[in-house]
């Protein structure tokens, strides 16, 4: 997979933004100030699809956040995708967060599996297993397994994933996008040390979710 550059506005939003701006301009010429709701919609679309570049931390043992948002789960549980006990850290994205998903570790994608499902509020724990989702199993450079699951939410109805089995990922590399509010679950070895707690605000790539135990 080619490394998709950071264009400031995510490519997934170009069509939506173009249509909103066109409608706003036409409404302005025809109705003047009555076009204000369309301009507000354009501004919302612009902020939703923003895609800023991020700085990758130097810590080689760090597991980076794959998404912007708020931490809603830090617990030991079963990773059903990797068939193991794991440390689970979940990040909830609301409609005002950046929705690009970025690789938490360097590694190779061993498996990509899509699951159809519901669209309940992604802030709820049951969303992890009941909602539409897409799971990536990544074999990190140190040999550890990292499972990264994109979960659709109440409003989100479209999960986009641009990697497949055998692809190599670098930390901070953009691998997908989820439209309009969602969640990303990360499953790590139980020996990993969490560096965040429930309620923390995190930023994709720049926030360290956890650290692997040094080999």
Residues 41 and 95 reside in one and the same domain? no
Residues 106 and 207 reside in one and the same domain? yes
CATH number at residue 132: 2.70.70.10
Number of domains within the chain = 2
- Give the integer Cα–Cα distance in Å for 55 and 98: 15
**pLDDT score, position 2:** 44
- Give the integer Cα–Cα distance in Å for 75 and 37: 43
- Give the integer Cα–Cα distance in Å for 119 and 168: 30
**pLDDT score, position 48:** 79
Please indicate, yes or no, if residue 56 is contained in any of the structural domains. Answer: no
Residues 74 and 42 reside in one and the same domain? no
Catalytic site includes residue 65: no
What are 45-97's pLDDT values in tens digits? 887 788 888 889 989 899 999 999 999 999 999 999 999 999 999 999 888 88
Please indicate, yes or no, if residue 2 is contained in any of the structural domains. Answer: no
- Give the integer Cα–Cα distance in Å for 136 and 147: 6
Residues 83 and 183 reside in one and the same domain? yes
Residues 30 and 129 reside in one and the same domain? no
Residues 47 and 121 reside in one and the same domain? no
Residues 175 and 143 reside in one and the same domain? yes
Non-local (6+) Cβ contacts of 95 within 8 A are: 48, 155, 180, 181
Residues 206 and 105 reside in one and the same domain? yes
**pLDDT score, position 169:** 94
Residues 34 and 81 reside in one and the same domain? no
Domain with 13, as residue range(s), is 8-51
Bridge partner list, 186: 89, 148
pLDDT under 50: residue ranges of the chain: 1-2
**What is the pTM (predicted TM-score) of this model?**
0.84
**Set 35, 42, 100, 182: catalytic member:** 182
**pLDDT score, position 32:** 86
**pLDDT score, position 1:** 41
- Give the integer Cα–Cα distance in Å for 153 and 48: 15
**pLDDT score, position 97:** 86
């Amino acid at each position: 997979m080619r490394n998709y550059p950071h264009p400031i506005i995510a490519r997934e939003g170009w069509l939506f933004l173009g249509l909103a701006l066109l409608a706003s301009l036409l409404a302005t010429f025809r109705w003047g100030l009555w076009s204000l709701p369309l301009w507000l919609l354009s501004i919302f679309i612009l902020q939703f699809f923003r895609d800023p570049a991020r700085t990758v931390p130097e810590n080689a043992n760090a597991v980076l956040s794959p998404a912007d948002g708020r931490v809603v789960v830090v617990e030991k549980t079963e990773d059903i995708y990797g068939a193991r006990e794991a440390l689970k850290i979940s990040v909830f994205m609301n409609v005002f967060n950046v929705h690009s998903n970025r690789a938490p570790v360097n590694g190779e994608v061993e498996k990509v599996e899509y699951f159809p499902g519901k669209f309940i509020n992604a802030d709820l724990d049951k969303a992890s297993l009941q909602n539409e989702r897409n799971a990536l199993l990544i074999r990190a450079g140190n040999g550890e397994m990292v499972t990264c699951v994109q979960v659709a939410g109440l409003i989100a109805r479209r999960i986009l994933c641009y990697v497949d089995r055998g692809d190599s990922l670098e930390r901070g590399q953009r691998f997908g996008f989820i439209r309009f509010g969602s969640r990303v679950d990360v499953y790590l070895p139980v020996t990993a040390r969490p560096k965040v707690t429930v309620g923390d605000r995190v930023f994709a790539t720049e926030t360290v979710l956890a650290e692997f135990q040094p080999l």
